[in-house]
Chain A
Amino acid sequence: MDERLVAEFSRLIGPEHVLREPIKLLTYECDALPHLRQTPALVVLPGSAAEVQAVVRLCSREGVPFVPRGHGTGLSGGALPVPGGVVISLARLNRVLEIDIANRRVTVEPGVTNLEITRQVAPYGYYYAPDPSSQQVCSIGGNVAENSGGAHCLKYGFTVHHVLAVEAVLPNGELVQIGSPLPDAPGPDLLGVLVGSEGTLAVVTKVVVRILRKPESVQTLLAAFNSISEAGAAVSDIIGAGIIPAAVEMMDAVAIRAAEAAVHPNFPPADTILIVELDGPASEVRELFAVVEEICRKDGATTVEVAADESQRARIWKGRKAAFAAMGRISPNYYVQDGVVPRTRLPEVLGRIAALSQRSGLPIGNVFHAGDGNLHPLICYDERIPGQAQLAEEVAGEILTYCVEAGGSITGEHGVGADKKDYMPRMFSDDDLDAMQQLRDAIDPDRLCNPGKVLPTPRLCGEVPGPYRQHPVEAAGLAERF
């Protein structure tokens, strides 16, 4: 990046907040999807919305692509830098601006962590509902970008259901408020589009979230089964009984073994375990929990362990939430996908995944949100063995195909990012993708805001959106689609 520009960024936000030394740029080469890496030309760390706006304006004026970044915990390469581009880290925008218990809302800057919101309001008996496994470290700005979910979204929904309004800098440098702290702002739900747009439509500088009253009662059980189909039947029967649990999580033998090795949650030896949590008024939880317990036993649970207190409950969740990281204990490397299938198709798709594991020779652990059909196959491989990393990626792609064939989605909560954009045509037609590109071009006509994410990139730079036409560069034989 030329000196003039670097000097201008330094003038805008202070030279100490502009990083260009290779050693400092290393941190920003990737997010939590480490196999995709790119060194940015520059990293800037603005300290206020006004500074974010100044940075984006400069990028816009100079035609420099920029990538917003929260705390880098994303699992789809959504914060992967762009060659020659600027990474805008929101880490310094980390203030809690307002806690309004009476109106059940909290206003924060995007660099505040997810769990910090709950920490701030817990003394008053409230919490922030979306709880991605990375909640201790992930930023709320990143949650907005990815529309993060978590184990409890079956009952409580995703980030999009809990964000009331944001302040954001649009790619043209305009600072706007999207959504409204009051209900029923007229017009199309732009906020609903922005949440989950993976940092491609705006850089969020302030977020207003709603908080919930802590439920009166929470009950958690862990049931062990001899097969995934028995556990699956229990989930169907629970939902069929008209019960929407706060969470329903399943882990298979590989994942159980990994969790045991890592954090010793003392899970029973089983082919499959099911974690079911109910919350709400004590009378409701008491009445329905008995039904859930009975269903688990009827469907073949070998043991049903009910958490007697908060520490037992915490232990169960620790085992579940540590499952990803725990894979490191049993495999040198792993690759995780988060495809979704309609819940009723879980047994069939899990069967196909087991067969694929056999065929490829790569162990696959499954830890997933069974209530909403969101899989998390953990594909184990060893990158030191030539070809295995490649094989793991192919296996992951195959699993996504199974999900789409079953009527599901390629991603339930991790986002498309740079990782899965080439799978988008498996789910969407060219027309669907073109309409999405049109939306993006309406907001970011210069295509500078986190380019190369979400939508497949064969669309050449400068191409006019709409039905496929041959690009002049293609016609001249200088480029081709792949």
Chain B
Amino acid sequence: MVAASMRAGTAADAIDGVVPRQVAEPADGQELAATLLAAARATHATVLRGGGTKLGWGRPPAAIDLVVSTSRLTSVFVHRHGDLTATAHAGLTLAQVNRELAKHGQWLPIDSAFDEATIGGIIATNDSGPVRHRFGTPRDLLIGVTLALADGRVVKAGGHVVKNVAGYDLGKLASGSFGTLGAIVDATFKLLPIPQASATIDASYDDGEALARDVMQVSASQLEPMAFEMWLEGSRYRLRLLFASSPAAVSAQVESAQRMLSRPSSVLTGDSEFALWKDHVRLPWAGTGAVIRFGWLPARLAEVISMIQDVQRIGGPVVMAGRVGVGAGVMRVEGDVRSQAAVVERLRSSVLVGNVVVLRAAPELKQQVDVWGPPGSAAGAVLAIRRMFDPAGILNAGRGPV
């Protein structure tokens, strides 16, 4: 078992300004596992890196001995189109995978704000976007996983059938783990056919309560959007509904949704529709402000919107995209670190929202607030699992979430 060769870390490899001593780029799962084993034996604080697009998410590291990159894990790709499943190496990007899947009219329905986001990183962060309204988050689509563990072993769980309850689902454990339990080598997903047609309704509001009322109307209806989103920028709002199905079904649903809304709306298709969703997913990440993720009970949307208006009095204007069907949002807060910290505190003290996590932030903000927030009551169990799989405590270099 041979560990991957190393190079010295450079400024381009820095996380929160901390330059890792070394960077390894293993060529396969065995080499990846051997690299982790060597790091564990030497107690080297280690960070796993996919595309590096979300590498800043987490507590600021004290020191990083080693970054292990999956950039060379790009050779495995199997598309079983007849079975609607695919297996992809961790270092492939979501965009690459979806380009391949499209050749057979299928896709992995996950949104990412980042072009370079990899399969491994998407699972490790369990990051998602608007289409989670219909398809859930990556954990809901993951059916099998291969992991490299810090004891040098390569193990798998699940498989490549969509229905399978044999053994513990270690893929779920990897989901949202931020590389604290092991490294993802490859992943198998269930896929969906690309819908024949789609159209998006975009309605504009200057009144948050009116928006919330319309959201409740749509929620209680039998419409089945693929994405059901709000957009907030200062005191202007938009409601966006993406319908994707057979052509006649799309027109019928668009028509009935438009009738349901209290405000006039435009209907976008083709390139303009594509551009709208691209912006919708990316704009919360534009600029340099802190990006905060949080959840709420869907029926409390009006109160949540009113609280965000309060938040803007503390922290200045925000930009927010929200999955109103599930109650999940990301918000960008500009302003100085002190007002950003005040916004985080305000959100965390509210009974309306929960799971307030600071995703992107300047190291100074991360010093002032814990990015992950208070641990849940099952934290002890998660920590016990971590100690079992990473007894040396090297993985993700103390950056959490475990």
Interface residues of A (CB under 8 A from B): 100, 102-104, 146-147, 149, 153-154, 157-158, 160-161, 170, 174-178, 180-193, 196-197, 213-216, 236, 239-240, 242-244, 280-284, 286-288, 340-344, 369, 372-374, 407-416, 420, 424, 427-429, 431-436, 438-443, 454-455, 466-467
Which residues of chain B come closer than 8 Å to A416, judged between CB atoms? 165-167
Among B77-85, B111-119, B272-280, B338-346, the stretch in contact with A = B77-85
Q: Is the CB of B401 within 8 A of A431?
A: no
Q: Is the CB of A183 within 8 A of B82?
A: no
Among B6-14, B47-55, B88-96, B378-386, the stretch in contact with A = B378-386
Which residues of chain A come closer than 8 Å to B238, judged between CB atoms? none
> Which single member of B159, B192, B380 contacts A409 (CB below 8 Å)?
B159
Q: Is the CB of B253 within 8 A of A281?
A: yes
- Inter-chain CA distance A440–B246, complex, in Å, is 45
Which chain A residue shows the least CB distance to B171?
A192
Which chain A residue shows the least CB distance to B354?
A182
Which residues from 162 to 180 on chain B have a C-beta closer than 8 Å to any C-beta of chain A? 162-170, 172-177, 180
Which residues of chain A come closer than 8 Å to B140, judged between CB atoms? 157, 161
- Inter-chain CA distance A374–B293, complex, in Å, is 38
> Which single member of B166, B221, B323, B387 contacts A427 (CB below 8 Å)?
B166
Among B60-68, B148-156, B283-291, the stretch in contact with A = B148-156
Which residues of chain A come closer than 8 Å to B326, judged between CB atoms? 183
- Inter-chain CA distance A100–B299, complex, in Å, is 10
Q: Is the CB of B376 within 8 A of A411?
A: no
Place the interface of chain B in its size category.
35 or more
Which residues of chain B come closer than 8 Å to A282, judged between CB atoms? 252
Q: A103-B297, A442-B387, A443-B384 are in contact. Are A344 and B83 (CB under 8 A)?
A: yes
> Which single member of B177, B245, B385 contacts A281 (CB below 8 Å)?
B245
Which chain B residue shows the least CB distance to A213?
B222
- Inter-chain CA distance A244–B166, complex, in Å, is 24
List 28 A-B residue pairs with CB atoms under 8 Å apart, sorted by A's residue number. A102-B298, A147-B165, A149-B163, A158-B163, A170-B381, A176-B376, A176-B380, A177-B378, A178-B378, A183-B295, A187-B372, A191-B172, A193-B169, A244-B192, A281-B223, A283-B249, A342-B82, A373-B161, A408-B159, A414-B165, A427-B166, A427-B167, A431-B154, A435-B147, A439-B168, A442-B385, A443-B384, A454-B168
> Which single member of B82, B165, B169 contacts A411 (CB below 8 Å)?
B165
Q: Is the CB of A413 within 8 A of B163?
A: yes
- Inter-chain CA distance A147–B172, complex, in Å, is 13
Which chain A residue shows the least CB distance to B389?
A438
> Which single member of B175, B192, B219, B354 contacts A188 (CB below 8 Å)?
B175
Which residues of chain B come closer than 8 Å to A196, judged between CB atoms? 165, 168-169
Interface residues of B (CB under 8 A from A): 80, 82-85, 105, 126, 136, 139-140, 147, 149, 151, 153-157, 159-170, 172-177, 180-181, 192-196, 216, 219-224, 245-249, 251-253, 293-299, 323, 326-328, 353-355, 357, 372-373, 376-382, 384-385, 387-389, 400-402
Q: Is the CB of B376 within 8 A of A244?
A: no
> Which single member of A183, A185, A344, A424 contacts B167 (CB below 8 Å)?
A424
Q: A243-B193, A412-B164 are in contact. Are A442 and B388 (CB under 8 A)?
A: yes
Which residues of chain B come closer than 8 Å to A374, judged between CB atoms? 163
> Which single member of A161, A281, A342, A440 contacts B224 (CB below 8 Å)?
A281
> Which single member of A183, A190, A340, A429 contacts B381 (CB below 8 Å)?
A190
Q: Is the CB of B378 within 8 A of A190?
A: yes
How near does chain B come to A361, taking the closest CB pair, in angstroms?
29
Which chain A residue shows the least CB distance to B82?
A344
Q: Is the CB of A192 within 8 A of B139?
A: yes
Which chain A residue shows the least CB distance to B106?
A242
How near does chain A come to B133, taking the closest CB pair, in angstroms?
11
How near does chain A come to B323, taking the closest CB pair, in angstroms?
8
Which residues of chain A come closer than 8 Å to B196, judged between CB atoms? 242
Q: Is the CB of B181 within 8 A of A411?
A: no
- Inter-chain CA distance A158–B376, complex, in Å, is 25
Q: A412-B161, A429-B155 are in contact. Are A177 and B295 (CB under 8 A)?
A: no
Which residues of chain B come closer than 8 Å to A411, judged between CB atoms? 164-166
- Inter-chain CA distance A354–B139, complex, in Å, is 37
Which residues of chain B come closer than 8 Å to A280, judged between CB atoms? 224, 245, 249
- Inter-chain CA distance A112–B366, complex, in Å, is 44
Which 8 residue pairs of A and B lie closest in terms of their CB atoms, listed nearest first? Answer: A192-B172, A284-B249, A182-B295, A242-B193, A102-B299, A283-B252, A216-B222, A442-B388
Which chain A residue shows the least CB distance to B372?
A186
- Inter-chain CA distance A192–B389, complex, in Å, is 18
How near does chain A come to B38, taking the closest CB pair, in angstroms?
17
Q: A287-B246, A442-B384 are in contact. Are A189 and B163 (CB under 8 A)?
A: no
Q: Is the CB of A413 within 8 A of B249?
A: no
Which residues of chain B come closer than 8 Å to A161, judged between CB atoms? 136, 140
Q: Is the CB of B327 within 8 A of A182?
A: yes
- Inter-chain CA distance A193–B168, complex, in Å, is 6
Which residues of chain A come closer than 8 Å to B165, judged between CB atoms? 146-147, 158, 196, 409, 411-416
Q: A181-B297, A340-B164, A439-B170 are in contact. Are A281 and B159 (CB under 8 A)?
A: no
Which residues of chain B come closer than 8 Å to A409, judged between CB atoms? 159, 161, 163-166
Q: Is the CB of A189 within 8 A of B155?
A: no
> Which single member of A189, A244, A343, A429 contacts B126 (CB below 8 Å)?
A189
Which residues of chain A come closer than 8 Å to B166, judged between CB atoms? 409-411, 416, 420, 424, 427-428
How near does chain A come to B176, taking the closest CB pair, in angstroms?
5
Q: A188-B181, A428-B167 are in contact. Are A104 and B159 (CB under 8 A)?
A: no
How near does chain A come to B372, taking the closest CB pair, in angstroms?
5
Which chain A residue shows the least CB distance to B174?
A188
- Inter-chain CA distance A467–B156, complex, in Å, is 15
Q: Is the CB of A182 within 8 A of B193?
A: no
- Inter-chain CA distance A284–B251, complex, in Å, is 10
Which residues of chain B come closer than 8 Å to A341, judged between CB atoms? 161
**Given A161-B136, A443-B381, A466-B151, 7 additional A-B pairs, CB 8 A:** A154-B162, A158-B165, A192-B139, A193-B169, A193-B172, A193-B173, A411-B166
